[in-house]
Amino acid sequence: MNESFDLQAYLTAGVEQVVADALKATLKDPRETAFLVQFAAASRAASQKRRRAEDAGEHVPSYLIASITSACNLHCAGCYSRCNHATVDSQPVQQLTDGEWLRIFDEADDMGISFILLAGGEPMLRRDVIEAAGKRKSILFPILTNGTFIDKAYFDLFDRCRNLVPIMSIEGDRDLTDARRGKGVYDRLIANMDEFHRRGLLFGASVTVTTENLRHVTSRDFLQSLSDRGCKVVIFVEFVPVTDEARHLAPGEAERQYLADEIARLRAEHPEMVYVSFPGDEKSSGGCVAAGRGFFHINSHGGAEPCPFSPYSDVNIRNTSLREAMHSPLFTALRNGDFLLEDHAGGCVLYEKRAEVEALLAAGQK
């Protein structure tokens, strides 16, 4: 794929910016600052590994998304994962063990992957995997959680393992959050935030951005309320429509530009918090960074997928290495084709073009 810029340099700059912003946000907390200084050194070493691989002709992404369980206790309105049947009510069998995930984390570390986002389902249901992640200090593990399973034992674990950073999903105020996630969830999240703040622990918030809540969740009042409770990271996740009825909620070009402009302003005016957008402005990165360009996804059963929103796999991590999975026929076809560079209506280009992705998958399996 011909690209008009150095993708590895772009991704490395993104990692360095996140780390630098996190350091600014934690300067008043000596323990958190000390950990992030150590992690910054590890991140630079990882960047050097990726650059050496790039120079040798192999592109290694900076990020990995790991859905460590398919189970979840909530039924959030419009959840893409449930609509794709990737999330269920109870813990299914044949999911990757903690030992298998630890092997993946070790291989990621060796390759120079700096961030692994732990997702689900509800990842807090897999305490064994999260404890294993805590042992890999050179990798930062944001944990995308609904917050309802965080207990004293988890607070103590986060205190011991500063590379584990819970990112709690919140939709705005009480009415907005409970309307999507269930009654009482907002109050539980606020109680968690207060306890994190009391203990001086790093935590963040994840906000699903739609055409209906965009102005609210980027408002000064909402973000100040998070900051006052000690929140240091806000991840804005663009809504991906999984039904035609919900398509109007997906941010379009105008909304994505507004979000990008707001994030730029927030970063300049409020260095006490880190702001991240997913998938972010794809134009600035030369297109979608899924399928191993910037990250890829491993589901709870070991399938390597381009993205959580594109749940297609032709290789299972149980039967291969992480590096080999990154070069699967499906990933290679997506990176070498034009799919990741094409314009789309909003949300996720691979989800919008799922018929074409399915055709690629079928062709590779013949």
Q: What is the CB-side half-sphere exposure of residue 136 using CA atoms within 13 A?
A: 25
Beta carbons of 210 and 251 less than 8 angstroms apart: yes
Strand pairing category for 297-298 and 304-305? antiparallel
CA 174 to chain CA mean position, Å: 24
Residue 45, CA distances (Å) to 58, 104, 134 in order: 17, 19, 19
Q: Please compute the mean of the pLDDT values over residues 316-338 and round it to a whole number.
A: 91
Beta carbons of 280 and 293 less than 8 angstroms apart: no
Alpha-carbon dihedral angle through residues 142, 143, 148, 154, given to the nearest 10 degrees: -80
- 329-336 vs 354-364: helix crossing angle, rounded to 10: 130
Supply the pLDDT for residue 343. Answer: 58
Token code pair at residue 255: 């909304």
Q: Give the single-character DSSP code of 140.
A: B
Beta carbons of 295 and 310 less than 8 angstroms apart: no
46 vs 75, more confident: 46
Neighbours of 134 (CB within 10 A): 16
Q: Return d(Cα 1, Cα 52) in angstroms, integer.
A: 19
In the chain, what are the domains?
A: 7-51+61-364 (3.20.20.70)
Beta carbons of 322 and 336 less than 8 angstroms apart: no
* Averaged confidence pLDDT in the chain: 86
pLDDT in tens, 239-251: 877 777 777 888 8
Strand pairing category for 164-169 and 141-145? parallel
pLDDT in tens, 256-288: 889 989 988 888 888 788 888 877 655 555 677
Token code pair at residue 79: 């959840």
pLDDT in tens, 340-351: 766 555 556 777
Sign for the CA dihedral angle at 36, 10, 60, 251 comes to positive
Sign for the CA dihedral angle at 133, 139, 142, 144 comes to negative
Q: Please compute the mean of the pLDDT values over residues 74-82 and round it to a whole number.
A: 78
Beta carbons of 156 and 119 less than 8 angstroms apart: no
Would the pTM count as exceeding 0.85? yes
Supply the pLDDT for residue 328. Answer: 93
Q: Which amino acid is at 47?
A: S
